[in-house]
Chains A and B, each alone.
With several copies, the nearest count.
Chain A
């Protein structure tokens, strides 16, 4: 455990650094795992929050991603498989003073934990949920996950996956999420930008992170990460800007006559025809259509913030309830209703 900076001797505590968020535990992911990059980006980003480490909590599920909690020098709760959002909801609703982060995998969040995830989103629990999507079960050594692509051969699907995968962004939007974003392990700047906005969001923020698992599903996102192709496949969403992409911004997203979104050559349709991204819209229709633009991250795929809107936050309605009643109030309660006295 690193030294306690906030426990100083009077003066303003020195600014926090990445090192303040690194725990003393040895990281135990496979060499080359995308989890390292995300961990490093998160640790690097944390000081920006300007919240002392003791007021930050990481709650994780089970899976490779679930180990995340051990590496952060914050409070950490490594829960059981799929239940991190439930644990976090209990904490968030009773400790509004904390900054609570959930880290989960595609199996943890979308298979066994699917129900808790959609309910945390609909309730708008103030949690930052990082969903490490490697499209496979890492920790249990390589089974299919709900995001594995059709045909993928895994230990549990020797003849190839036949179930249609979830699109986590679309699912979250269907579940009433107020903040939904997607980013990529390898792009630290983008990860950091998305984290920054998620942290600032007052409510539940779901961040899908495409994460490479070199052992069981290497290269699943190479279309978006490899130098030679990434420009032509990353559609970066920026609020208020027309949606353009390609090495020379030569392509874009426009609405076809039938109402569909379609990928177009800007030269063909003209810049004005492009959709201007609007993540602040209450109506999630556009965000949903953008999410469905790519079935699979092997083609042009939007990344960035799909939706970012305000809605009442879970746990903030009614009295604050961070304090218990007094003995007097208790006495009054105990004696409420019809009473009689025997002497």
Chain B
């Protein structure tokens, strides 16, 4: 049968099924093939909150979304164009996010009475007309996979049951003309040691592809051409967690400071602990501390010793670290604190994303204890942010808070691997043993107002520091009123004086509205603005990656537009800072749903103001 081929600029596919259905695997394989083809892409997994929810239930649905295109991609996409639903629960829990007219590919075999009940369906949605607004393809994937695997000796029916994700992957690979070798090669590598399983998976994948090619159900094949606007370089896909880990290791190597990550497990920050724990060969040590307080203390203790001390956590853990961060502010020692934000307050929704720890990062400690705060805006950007956090911490002898979030941590995108020699060297500039007989002044300051980092082992620089107020210069304990005021000002001036690059504004001629985001919403903001532009609206965008201090031109930029829209996944925290600092009446678009901002929402908000 000959099929029509249509071109698409961009497509969003979501694979959804039970936790046991292998959807993350199908999605990752599709991603690799897509990367190999040269599309730009972004992905987002969505795991169930339970460890192992009962099979077939709504709580057990696991999904993986990929957005790919022939031009640059900014987000993993809002509403999927295609939903692959391996069971009724997957259909039910994802349907609400589909636009009318979207394509749904279901594993028809899974729509048994039992499964429908588990998903709380009264009637079979495939038959009651409730899907009439969508293009539904019913494929008996279980049966077809079983048939494909049938002939393979030693492959059990269990293997066949498990291979249906590869059948689905085969169908989708055909539908979007993904190169098959990548997947076939991967199957051979992965299951090489178990040939029967390898063969079963391969057969399922090929069967899916052939099904696409031959069935009348699917009459159009789509082509999404390679992206052409891609900078030259070597690429890999990374999620924010991996990029953070690599950034920290790179900063450790380029500073010559062995890395200590001390952390206490917490979703979603644990992944960074897992990732770095694997890299002991790189001068990296990880400690799973007894709690978050200890973790922060260990990182700071390592910093006192001239090491790169890092601690990572999520919301609730940040509360616990604040006292130690305050000590680091007083000690003026370098330290990096990573907060992978999740939906709060309290335990909240641990697996969901949010940006609601910004004000805490700035003000979460008692007393006046200013410190720099930076926030990466893309998964790949986590590398540079981690590297920069280390640079700032070392240059200014200060704890730095890096705000990532669940979305960045788990979303993947192609990332241009930096050339190591292009990464700046970071000079720890330890204080040297002084020979001039002058007493060492641990709280003297350089041009950056940074104090000497004199580490144990350096002869003649023995000194004692602590959290009590210190005399300017000597560092001795002081209760003197004027000294306290001076030290308070010095600490503030040091942080305020950190050099950060100016805001870059991407403005259409005549744009009256500026959309100003921060952190992980950059993709959504830029994509939303792009769509609004396509609809003929003039708009400007800018994105804040340095939350403290703010880029030097922020006030100027804010004042050069009639209206400023600040979209955030919180109740308006950046907006509050901007309003206080620049007295500009910025407007907030707040979304607090545990989900990332969507381009469509930004588009809508822009157009509502056009």
- Asked if A and B bind, the verdict is yes
Which residues of A pack against B, CB within 8 Å? 1, 4, 6-7, 23-25, 28-31, 52-59, 62, 64, 69-70, 72-83, 86-95, 97-98, 107, 111-112, 114-116, 119, 137-141, 143-144, 146, 155-159, 215, 315, 318-319, 321-331, 333-335, 337-343
Taking CB atoms, residues of chain B closer than 8 Å to A327 are: 253-254, 420-421
Closest 5 CB pairs of A and B: A78-B466, A90-B301, A86-B297, A90-B298, A76-B464
Taking CB atoms, residues of chain A closer than 8 Å to B96 are: none
Closest residue to A78 on the B side, CB-wise?
Answer: B466
Asked whether B294 lies within 8 Å of A83 as measured between CB atoms, the reply is: yes
Within the complex, which residue of B291, B302, B476 is in contact with A93, where a contact is CB–CB below 8 Å? B302
Taking CB atoms, residues of chain A closer than 8 Å to B256 are: 324
Within the complex, which residue of B52, B246, B290, B477 is in contact with A70, where a contact is CB–CB below 8 Å? B477
B12–chain A nearest beta-carbon distance, Å: 22
Instruction: Give A342 to B35 CA distance when docked, in angstroms.
Output: 11
Taking CB atoms, residues of chain A closer than 8 Å to B420 are: 327-328, 330-331, 334
Within the complex, which residue of A54, A114, A315, A340 is in contact with B458, where a contact is CB–CB below 8 Å? A54
User: Is residue B72 contacting chain A, with contact meaning CB distance below 8 A?
Assistant: no
Interface string of B231-243 (1 = CB under 8 A from A): 1111111000000
Within the complex, which residue of B290, B435, B459 is in contact with A6, where a contact is CB–CB below 8 Å? B459
A158–chain B nearest beta-carbon distance, Å: 5
CB interface residues, B 256-295, toward A, < 8 Å: 256-260, 262, 264-267, 270, 273-274, 277-295
Asked whether B305 lies within 8 Å of A95 as measured between CB atoms, the reply is: yes
CB interface residues, B 216-256, toward A, < 8 Å: 230-237, 246, 249-250, 252-256
A131–chain B nearest beta-carbon distance, Å: 16
Taking CB atoms, residues of chain B closer than 8 Å to A6 are: 459
Asked whether B301 lies within 8 Å of A59 as measured between CB atoms, the reply is: yes
Asked whether A334 lies within 8 Å of B246 as measured between CB atoms, the reply is: yes
Instruction: Give A185 to B462 CA distance when docked, in angstroms.
Output: 26
Asked whether B460 lies within 8 Å of A338 as measured between CB atoms, the reply is: no
User: Is residue B347 contacting chain A, with contact meaning CB distance below 8 A?
Assistant: yes
A27–chain B nearest beta-carbon distance, Å: 9
Asked whether A77 lies within 8 Å of B291 as measured between CB atoms, the reply is: no
- 11 A-B pairs with CB atoms under 8 Å apart are A4-B459, A54-B457, A77-B331, A80-B327, A80-B346, A90-B301, A98-B305, A141-B267, A157-B288, A158-B278, A329-B253
User: Is residue B140 contacting chain A, with contact meaning CB distance below 8 A?
Assistant: no
Asked whether B316 lies within 8 Å of A339 as measured between CB atoms, the reply is: no
Given contacts A62-B347, A69-B464, A334-B417, contact A319 B32 (CB under 8 A): no
Instruction: Give A138 to B302 CA distance when docked, in angstroms.
Output: 29
Known: A7-B460, A23-B464, A87-B301; 20 extra A-B contacts, CB below 8 A, are A24-B439, A75-B304, A80-B347, A86-B294, A86-B296, A89-B298, A90-B300, A94-B305, A116-B293, A138-B51, A143-B288, A157-B277, A321-B285, A324-B256, A327-B420, A329-B253, A334-B417, A340-B36, A341-B233, A342-B233
Asked whether B290 lies within 8 Å of A97 as measured between CB atoms, the reply is: no
B59–chain A nearest beta-carbon distance, Å: 7
Instruction: Give A280 to B226 CA distance when docked, in angstroms.
Output: 70
A334–chain B nearest beta-carbon distance, Å: 5
Considering only CB atoms and an 8 Å cut-off, how many residues of chain B contact the other chain? Answer: 102
Asked whether B294 lies within 8 Å of A89 as measured between CB atoms, the reply is: yes
Within the complex, which residue of B230, B277, B304 is in contact with A156, where a contact is CB–CB below 8 Å? B277
Instruction: Give A341 to B231 CA distance when docked, in angstroms.
Output: 10
Within the complex, which residue of A78, A94, A140, A342 is in contact with B302, where a contact is CB–CB below 8 Å? A94
Taking CB atoms, residues of chain B closer than 8 Å to A334 are: 246, 250, 417-418, 420
User: Is residue B38 contacting chain A, with contact meaning CB distance below 8 A?
Assistant: yes
Taking CB atoms, residues of chain A closer than 8 Å to B457 are: 54-55, 95, 97-98
Asked whether B235 lies within 8 Å of A341 as measured between CB atoms, the reply is: yes
User: Is residue B607 contacting chain A, with contact meaning CB distance below 8 A?
Assistant: no
Asked whether A69 lies within 8 Å of B466 as measured between CB atoms, the reply is: yes
Asked whether B264 lies within 8 Å of A90 as measured between CB atoms, the reply is: no
User: Is residue B307 contacting chain A, with contact meaning CB distance below 8 A?
Assistant: yes
Taking CB atoms, residues of chain A closer than 8 Å to B465 are: 76-78
Asked whether B282 lies within 8 Å of A333 as measured between CB atoms, the reply is: yes
Asked whether B230 lies within 8 Å of A338 as measured between CB atoms, the reply is: no
Instruction: Give A89 to B267 CA distance when docked, in angstroms.
Output: 24
Taking CB atoms, residues of chain B closer than 8 Å to A116 are: 290, 293-294, 297
Taking CB atoms, residues of chain A closer than 8 Å to B288 are: 143-144, 156-157
Asked whether B309 lies within 8 Å of A90 as measured between CB atoms, the reply is: yes
Asked whether B236 lies within 8 Å of A321 as measured between CB atoms, the reply is: no
Asked whether B298 lies within 8 Å of A98 as measured between CB atoms, the reply is: no
Instruction: Give A243 to B419 CA distance when docked, in angstroms.
Output: 68
Taking CB atoms, residues of chain B closer than 8 Å to A92 are: 301
Closest residue to B259 on the A side, CB-wise?
Answer: A324
Given contacts A319-B280, A342-B231, contact A115 B285 (CB under 8 A): no
Taking CB atoms, residues of chain A closer than 8 Å to B279 are: 333
Asked whether A83 lies within 8 Å of B290 as measured between CB atoms, the reply is: no
Given contacts A7-B459, A81-B316, A89-B298, contact A339 B38 (CB under 8 A): no
A212–chain B nearest beta-carbon distance, Å: 14
Given contacts A89-B298, A327-B253, A333-B249, contact A52 B459 (CB under 8 A): yes
Within the complex, which residue of A57, A87, A144, A322 is in contact with B456, where a contact is CB–CB below 8 Å? A57
Asked whether B270 lies within 8 Å of A54 as measured between CB atoms, the reply is: no
Instruction: Give A333 to B302 CA distance when docked, in angstroms.
Output: 24
Asked whether B466 lies within 8 Å of A77 as measured between CB atoms, the reply is: yes
B268–chain A nearest beta-carbon distance, Å: 10
Taking CB atoms, residues of chain B closer than 8 Å to A82 are: 291
Given contacts A59-B301, A90-B262, contact A156 B273 (CB under 8 A): yes
Closest residue to A161 on the B side, CB-wise?
Answer: B288
Instruction: Give A296 to B283 CA distance when docked, in angstroms.
Output: 33
Asked whether A86 lies within 8 Å of B301 as measured between CB atoms, the reply is: yes
Interface string of B39-77 (1 = CB under 8 A from A): 000000000001111100001000000000000000000
User: Is residue B359 contacting chain A, with contact meaning CB distance below 8 A?
Assistant: no
- Report which residue of A70, A87, A89 has the largest number of chain B beta carbons within 10 angstroms of its beta carbon: A87
Taking CB atoms, residues of chain B closer than 8 Å to A337 are: 236-237
Taking CB atoms, residues of chain B closer than 8 Å to A146 are: 290
Asked whether B35 lies within 8 Å of A338 as measured between CB atoms, the reply is: yes
Taking CB atoms, residues of chain A closer than 8 Å to B347 are: 62, 80
B189–chain A nearest beta-carbon distance, Å: 11
Taking CB atoms, residues of chain A closer than 8 Å to B467 are: 62, 78-80
Asked whether B304 lies within 8 Å of A87 as measured between CB atoms, the reply is: yes
Closest residue to B255 on the A side, CB-wise?
Answer: A324
B144–chain A nearest beta-carbon distance, Å: 28
Taking CB atoms, residues of chain A closer than 8 Å to B117 are: none
Within the complex, which residue of B36, B51, B435, B439 is in contact with A141, where a contact is CB–CB below 8 Å? B51
Closest residue to B36 on the A side, CB-wise?
Answer: A340
B239–chain A nearest beta-carbon distance, Å: 12
Closest residue to B226 on the A side, CB-wise?
Answer: A342
Asked whether A111 lies within 8 Å of B290 as measured between CB atoms, the reply is: yes
Within the complex, which residue of A83, A95, A144, A341 is in contact with B307, where a contact is CB–CB below 8 Å? A95
A105–chain B nearest beta-carbon distance, Å: 12
Taking CB atoms, residues of chain B closer than 8 Å to A342 are: 38, 230-235
Asked whether A78 lies within 8 Å of B468 as measured between CB atoms, the reply is: yes
Asked whether B234 lies within 8 Å of A79 as measured between CB atoms, the reply is: no
A173–chain B nearest beta-carbon distance, Å: 19
Asked whether A74 lies within 8 Å of B462 as measured between CB atoms, the reply is: yes
Asked whether A343 lies within 8 Å of B232 as measured between CB atoms, the reply is: yes
User: Is residue B440 contacting chain A, with contact meaning CB distance below 8 A?
Assistant: yes
User: Is residue B461 contacting chain A, with contact meaning CB distance below 8 A?
Assistant: yes
Taking CB atoms, residues of chain A closer than 8 Å to B234 are: 335, 339-342
A54–chain B nearest beta-carbon distance, Å: 5
Given contacts A140-B265, A342-B231, contact A31 B300 (CB under 8 A): no
User: Is residue B463 contacting chain A, with contact meaning CB distance below 8 A?
Assistant: yes
Taking CB atoms, residues of chain B closer than 8 Å to A319 are: 280-281
Given contacts A7-B433, A93-B285, A330-B282, contact A1 B440 (CB under 8 A): yes
- Report which residue of B236, B278, B281, B287 has the largest number of chain A beta carbons within 10 angstroms of its beta carbon: B287
Taking CB atoms, residues of chain B closer than 8 Å to A69 are: 464, 466
Instruction: Give A180 to B295 CA distance when docked, in angstroms.
Output: 25
Closest residue to A141 on the B side, CB-wise?
Answer: B51
Given contacts A70-B464, A90-B298, contact A80 B291 (CB under 8 A): no
